[in-house]
Structure 1
Amino acid sequence: MGTITVTNLGKAFKQYPTRWSRLVEWMDPRGRAHHTPHWVLQDVNFTVSAGEALGIIGINGAGKSTLLKMIVGTTQPTVGSVSMTGRVAALLELGMGFHPDFTGRQNVMMAGQLLGYSVEEIVSLMPEIEAFAEIGEYIDQPVRVYSSGMQVRLAFSVATARRPDVLIVDEALSVGDAYFQHKSFDRIREFRKQGTTLLIVAHDKAAIQAICDRAILLNAGRLEMEGPPEAVMDYYNALLADRKNHEVKQEALTDGTVQTVSGTGEAVIEEVVLLDESAQPAEVVSVGQPVALRVKVKCVRAIPELVIGYMIKDRLGQTVFGTNTYHLKQVLVDLAAGQSLELDFEFMANIGVGSYSVSVALHTGVAHVANNYQWRDRALVFDVINIKTQPFVGVAWLPTTVRSMS
């Protein structure tokens, strides 16, 4: 079984003030440094247990790729250590080091040997690799004529030809087409069921929450947060809108979940309630039932433009539906300090049986990253039951009829 242990890991690059400083440092008989260290990663500690899936998230430049390179050994850390057990397969960069002038088949032979396969094993696995990659006759064409998606297909097929104890995947899969993304994630899920330890970097919130048991957030080269994927993704979402006087708070709710509240506080959410057809509060609704989400807001300061939005998420934190007054063409303008307002978002609860949460946001423009006055996750929780409709599965109810064409 595969495990990963990262201890006090850090990486610094040398920055020289002039182009001659490197030579002066090399020739200095006193061995004095003529550079300043630029730390891109510091004090990173975490463990991944056998069979666990860990997601790594963070904005570009946070140190995610550098961290993975140190874990797999292609980059040496400045301080700290990494220890791993089990057979490791990694897909860190597009093409996985494929030589552009060699054919796909020749590159498979080389890449397979780098992964520890013998020539005989690669030959026996080749039909399966070809079948999974689905690049047809291009397998015998030079890699330089491949599209980026074709390179990803072949690289992933080689890396996962046999189930590894540890699978490490960077954001390379985001380059592939939607069909292959689904296919590759199905293989990853199957490996997980069989006990593979997974370390994955992705900006895809749905992928992290669907696959991972735990997530860590890197910010400016440091481990900012570690915890359940939904809580970490909510915190990351709040950081994306980080501005002057912007606060991010997290607190544990009575049901054990974590609520994230962020924003400048120039406008605040006073109340969120789900109403039935009689305008009565409802914690349980039926599939297809007309409901209204009432949001009460108070402007602490004068607000030139205010957009109010909501997002419904399922029990795994996956987004089911979301919209706001910007998309609905009802942006509020010129609101006075101290002014209160109340909006009802009316819709049919055409969603599947289960438990759902509602996030509410106050901002300007199309999304909260411009001016986030307040974003409140898990502002409301409700359940959906099925009383009147035919049985169905999934998170969306699509009323369906059948017509015979014979």
Structure 2
Amino acid sequence: MGQIRVVGLGKAYKQYGNRWKRLAEWVLPGDRRWHELTWVLRDISFTVEPGEAVGIVGMNGAGKSTLLKMITGTTIPTTGSVNMSGRVAALLELGMGFHPDFTGRQNVFMAGQLLGLTSEEIKGLMPEIEAFAEIGKYIDRPARLYSSGMQMRLAFSVATARRPDILIVDEALSVGDAYFQHKSFDRIRQYREQGTTLLLVSHDKSAIQAICDRAVLLNAGELAMEGEPEAVMDYYNAMLADRENYYIQQTVQPDGRTQTVSGSGEAEIFDIALINQEGVRAEVIDVGENVVLSIKVRVHKDVPKLVLGYGIKDRLGQVIYGTNTFHTDQVLMNVKGGSEILFDIKFPANVGEGNYSVQTAITSSDTHLVDNYEWRDLALVFSVVNMSKIHFAGSSWIEPTIEVTS
């Protein structure tokens, strides 16, 4: 199995004021520097243990792709080192290494040899590569005729034709059709179960939380946070709405999970409860039980518009349902500071057995990216058990009526 160890990794590029300074540095004697260094990444350190899956997230320009290029050796670091053990397969850019005038089949042989496979091995794997890529007759046509989705299909098929010890995947899987994305992630999960170490860069929150054991957050070229995927993605979500006089606070809850609260502070939730059908606060409810999510909001400053949003998340931190009062056409206008507002949200808990949490948002519109007065993850935690329904599997209770005719 493979391990990735990144120690003090940094990347800087030389910036010259003009072309003469570049020439002067080349030809003039002495040690004078005629350039300035622009740092893209600074002092990045983390370890991916054998068989572990780690996701790398961050806003555009945070340095994610540069980090992967240094890890895979396609870019030389300015500082630090990378140590990897085992056979590595990397999918960093669509069609990287593909020659546009060569056929897909010819490119498979070239790309496979770059991965360390022999011609005979590639020839033996070719039927499987063709079958997985599903590009049909285009396998024998020039790569310049391929769509971005077809390039991704073939590149991923080659990179994963034989299970690697380490698999490194950039945003390439974000293009193409949903069918092949599911197919690709199924293969990634299969290899993970067999011991492959995974390093994944993606903006897909669901993919990071469903596949990865840990996540690393990059911000402005520095390591901003490393930890459990849900906590890192919650912090990343808060960073997206960062404004002046904006706070982000994280606290570890008694159950060990990290709660993220962020916002500008014009309003806050000061009480939240799940009320069962007996009318009392509950931490455990029945499948399909009619409940009320009761949320009390206190407004500290006058706000022209106030919207309450909420989402119910499963144990992996993925939202299974969410909406807000903007979409239900219940926006409150010209709310005065000092006001207290009660929101009672009634719904049947038609979900499967398991542990769930509630995230809340107080904003001025349908998104927290405009005015985020308060965003609160893990605002409430509750469990669902099956006390009254027939046995069923899955994450949703969809009561069936089955007609049998003989």
Normalised by the length of structure 2, the TM-score is 0.98
Matched residue type, 1:62: A
Shift of 1:404: 5.9
Paired position in structure 2 for 1:157: 157
Q: Tell me the secondary structure at the aligned position of residue 199 of structure 2.
A: strand
Shift of 1:27: 2.0
Verify: 1:382 aligned to 2:345, yes or no: no
Deviations 1:318-354 (A, max 9, x none): 1111111111111111011111111111111111111
Distance 2:290 2:21 in 1: 71
Q: Tell me the secondary structure at the aligned position of residue 368 of structure 1.
A: coil
Matched residue type, 2:12: A
Deviations 1:130-163 (A, max 9, x none): 0111111111111111111111000000000000
Shift of 1:403: 4.4
Long gaps (5+) in structure 2? none
| Larger mean Cα displacement after TM superposition, 88-97 or 273-282 | 273-282
Verify: 1:253 aligned to 2:219, yes or no: no
Distance 2:401 2:19 in 1: 73
Paired position in structure 2 for 1:189: 189
| Larger mean Cα displacement after TM superposition, 233-242 or 383-392 | 383-392
Shift of 1:199: 0.3
Shift of 1:248: 0.6
Paired position in structure 2 for 1:237: 237
Matched residue type, 1:255: D
Distance 2:336 2:186 in 1: 52
Paired position in structure 2 for 1:20: 20
Counterpart mapping for 1:5-404 below 5 A: 5-403=5-403
Distance 2:400 2:65 in 1: 46
| Larger mean Cα displacement after TM superposition, 46-55 or 284-293 | 284-293
Distance 1:20 1:391 in 2: 77
Q: Tell me the secondary structure at the aligned position of residue 97 of structure 1.
A: coil
Deviations 1:257-299 (A, max 9, x none): 1111111111111011111234321211111111111110111
Distance 1:140 1:404 in 2: 51
Q: Structure 1 residues 255 and 126, CA, compared in 2 at 3 Å: closer, same or farther? A: same
Shift of 1:365: 1.4
Distance 1:212 1:280 in 2: 38
Distance 1:128 1:25 in 2: 53
Distance 2:364 2:244 in 1: 16
Normalised by the length of structure 1, the TM-score is 0.98
Q: Tell me the secondary structure at the aligned position of residue 156 of structure 1.
A: helix
Matched residue type, 2:256: G
Distance 2:259 2:291 in 1: 24
Distance 1:203 1:261 in 2: 21
How many residue pairs were aligned? 406
Distance 1:402 1:23 in 2: 81
Distance 2:160 2:398 in 1: 37
Q: Structure 1 residues 377 and 98, CA, compared in 2 at 3 Å: closer, same or farther? A: same
Q: Tell me the secondary structure at the aligned position of residue 162 of structure 2.
A: coil
Q: Tell me the secondary structure at the aligned position of residue 100 of structure 1.
A: coil
| Larger mean Cα displacement after TM superposition, 356-365 or 274-283 | 274-283
Matched residue type, 2:217: L
Q: Tell me the secondary structure at the aligned position of residue 19 of structure 2.
A: coil
Matched residue type, 2:68: L
Q: Structure 1 residues 95 and 403, CA, compared in 2 at 3 Å: closer, same or farther? A: farther
Distance 2:303 2:349 in 1: 32
Shift of 1:5: 0.6
Deviations 1:295-323 (A, max 9, x none): 10111111111111111111111111111
Q: Structure 1 residues 297 and 67, CA, compared in 2 at 3 Å: closer, same or farther? A: same
Q: Structure 1 residues 335 and 399, CA, compared in 2 at 3 Å: closer, same or farther? A: same
Shift of 1:371: 1.1
Distance 1:240 1:393 in 2: 36
Distance 1:268 1:137 in 2: 59
Matched residue type, 1:339: S
Shift of 1:399: 2.1
Distance 1:14 1:80 in 2: 18
Q: Tell me the secondary structure at the aligned position of residue 390 of structure 2.
A: coil
Deviations 1:364-399 (A, max 9, x none): 211111111111111111111112322221211222
Shift of 1:402: 3.3
Matched residue type, 1:297: V
Distance 1:96 1:33 in 2: 35
Shift of 1:249: 0.7
Identity %: 64
Shift of 1:35: 1.4
Distance 1:301 1:15 in 2: 47
Shift of 1:33: 1.5
